[in-house]
Structure 1
Amino acid sequence: MTHQPGTEPYDVVVVGGSGVDTVVRVPTLPVPAADSVPVPPVVEYAGHTGTGVALGCAALGLRTGFLDFIGDDPQGSLIRERLAGTGVDFRPLISPHGTRRSVNLVAPDGRRTSLHDARDPLDLRMPPEHYLPALRRARHVHLSITHFTRFLYDDIAALGLPVSTDLHDWDGLTCHHKEFAFRSDLVFLSTAGAGERIGAVMREILREGRASAVIATAGAGGAYLLGAEDRSPRHVPAAVPPGPVVDSNGAGDAFTSGFLHGHLAGLEFGECARRGALAGAHACVAHGTHTAPLDAAALAAWAGGEPRAGAADTVPA
């Protein structure tokens, strides 16, 4: 069933990337080779990248729409329940293939390994009559890298809308990510996939695509920002978390929402990245996935008290 959007404008429309995370707290990563490893209670959360960006943007006061496929299953119901009352205007379609899932193994220091079940078939498509009414009222679109979202780029371009995406741990080589990398105005990724080649990957995105900025997050190492006028990526120091780090699930999505909040307010990229770092640090002190996104008042108070991000350090070539 297709839901018909109303007439309200959106600051951000997030497309794709909902799912459920089953979080298993393990004594160490990698998990010991054993027939059985005792763990604390296993918990399920509405998670995945699109959910995190949508919740983060809404918590920061942005008018947020969220379009995706979910299953007619308990996991789909969990996502609906989590998004209800958050300010996210969630408009899902039912997929016969079920709701995406991940099993996330989380170590005591907050590091995690995610086992991802994407489950969408390659021929899954979102009907234009479902997404076009929402896009026509959007200031900005954020596409998760689920396969069906790549088919929205032509309509987004025809509407003249800016678009962002998160490539996650892209190594700079896998073909699936390239269209997202080269057709987006803001490109987020982590340093995990490319390693020491991350600087070259960032420059390739800027050179071959349409991006005005590429942002690579590095966990506790902060992030790196490369704009069109930069000769090399600028280092953005990590923010000091406001408490003990217990879970890094969703920190990258929180970073993205903090950055987009600053960008839509007209702030320069360095300040946007600093706000992203604050939102990402905040996410690491809460158990679970997307359970306590940073709100606008807390971000404003924290941003006013933190030193500004430096610009001296660079990433490897």
Structure 2
Amino acid sequence: MTIEIDVLVLGGAGVDTIVHVPELPVPYADSHMIRPGIVTRAGQSGDFVALAAHALGLRTHHLDLLGDDPEGDLVRALHRDRGIPLTAVPQPLGTKRAVNLVDPDGRRLSLYDATRAADTDRLPEATVRDLAAVSRHAHVVITQPCAHALPVLRAAGVTISTDLHDWDGVNPYHEPFAHQADVVFLSSAALADPEATMRRIAGRGRARAVVATAGADGAYLLADGELTHVPAATPPAPVVDSNGAGDAFAAAFLHAWLAGAPPRDCALHGTVAGAYACTVPSTRTDSIGREELAAGVAALLTGG
């Protein structure tokens, strides 16, 4: 069967409402005057990975549950406008949504609406199987119900990546994703001992590369049993929001990884893309392109 998709993204389609706050945690007050305003736009983790992969020239397809609601219409319009194929499975509970509180330094606190998913939610196995059959790779977001699609993806023979985000290394919900993926991304923010968690993921699962992002400190890469530090890239403009930085990192890493680059080079691609994402206001969904990504990686390698 002919391969038609480079990266199949499962899950993580939704809508965020961005609220700029004076600081985090938000000081208690009867009211706050919000500038530059409150904006609702399509774009959660799976959307951002799909957009970033597409911007880097990867043939991308997104699969998730969506409601027949205004939020679902925003997600459909985003994919249609960017030219990214989307398979939307009906979700009677509605499209995923969240409120993101963003402080002046770009830090974010996300409040997710837990009423828009159920334990019984499933992506149709036949749909997952058919899309996986024409895909090189699947990036699986940890949103419900993607864990149930992992055995189908494994049977199809595609490689798998996932992002555990701010996993504490203990919550069992994340373990099926961590142990079934070939490439595992996570944040070091909630980890008491990032190296121990990374080695446990590799030892108990099948990951060939585990990457723990560390914000301005860059990232840590575990590959072939060796842990290395990957330096942070200098953002090309002032940092305004960290939202989507991890998704951009993952997409750029996969861009290099699918091209056969060694893991450290892949991680350098990730740091450049993540730094770029921090310069994009949370009200927009811009992604770094191939030429700018290549220039940023070259600058890191030469110390420029």
Name the TM tier (shorter chain): over 0.9
Structure 1 length normalisation: TM-score? Answer: 0.91
Tell me which residue corresponds to 2:29. 34
Tell me which residue corresponds to 2:77. 81
Q: Do the aligned residues in 2 keep the contact of 1:222 with 1:277 (CA within 8 Å)?
A: yes
Percent identity for Structure 1 against Structure 2: 48
What pairs up with 1:53-72 in 2 under 5 angstroms?
Answer: 53-72=49-68
TM superposition shift of 1:246: 0.7
Report the CA distance shift for 1:213/1:39 in structure 2 as closer, same or farther (over 3 A). same
Structure 1, residues 130-183: CA drift from partner, whole Å, max 9, x if none? 222111000001111113111112211212211000000001110100111111
CA RMSD of aligned residues (A): 1.6
Report the CA distance shift for 1:290/1:268 in structure 2 as closer, same or farther (over 3 A). farther
TM superposition shift of 1:8: 6.4
TM superposition shift of 1:271: 0.6
Question: Tell me, which stretches of 5 or more residues in structure 2 are unaligned?
Answer: none
Structure 2 length normalisation: TM-score? Answer: 0.95
Corresponding residue to 2:280 among 273, 276, 286: 286
Range 273-282 or range 156-165, more displaced: 156-165
Aligned counterparts of 2:54 and 2:152: Cα–Cα separation in 1: 24
TM superposition shift of 1:289: 5.5
Structure 2 SS opposite 1:307: helix
Q: Do the aligned residues in 2 keep the contact of 1:249 with 1:289 (CA within 8 Å)?
A: no
Aligned counterparts of 1:63 and 1:258: Cα–Cα separation in 2: 13
TM superposition shift of 1:228: 2.6
Q: Answer yes or no: is 1:228 the counterpart of 2:224.
A: yes
Structure 1, residues 179-218: CA drift from partner, whole Å, max 9, x if none? 1111111000001121x32111111001111101110111
Corresponding residue to 2:244 among 227, 250, 257: 250
Report the CA distance shift for 1:87/1:265 in structure 2 as closer, same or farther (over 3 A). farther
Tell me which residue corresponds to 2:290. 296
Corresponding residue to 1:277 among 271, 282, 298: 271
Tell me which residue corresponds to 2:138. 141
Aligned counterparts of 1:161 and 1:207: Cα–Cα separation in 2: 21
Tell me which residue corresponds to 2:123. 126
Aligned length: 301
TM superposition shift of 1:254: 0.4
Aligned counterparts of 2:224 and 2:27: Cα–Cα separation in 1: 45
What amino acid is the match of 1:27? Answer: P
Corresponding residue to 1:181 among 178, 183, 186: 178
Report the CA distance shift for 1:93/1:259 in structure 2 as closer, same or farther (over 3 A). same
TM superposition shift of 1:129: 2.3
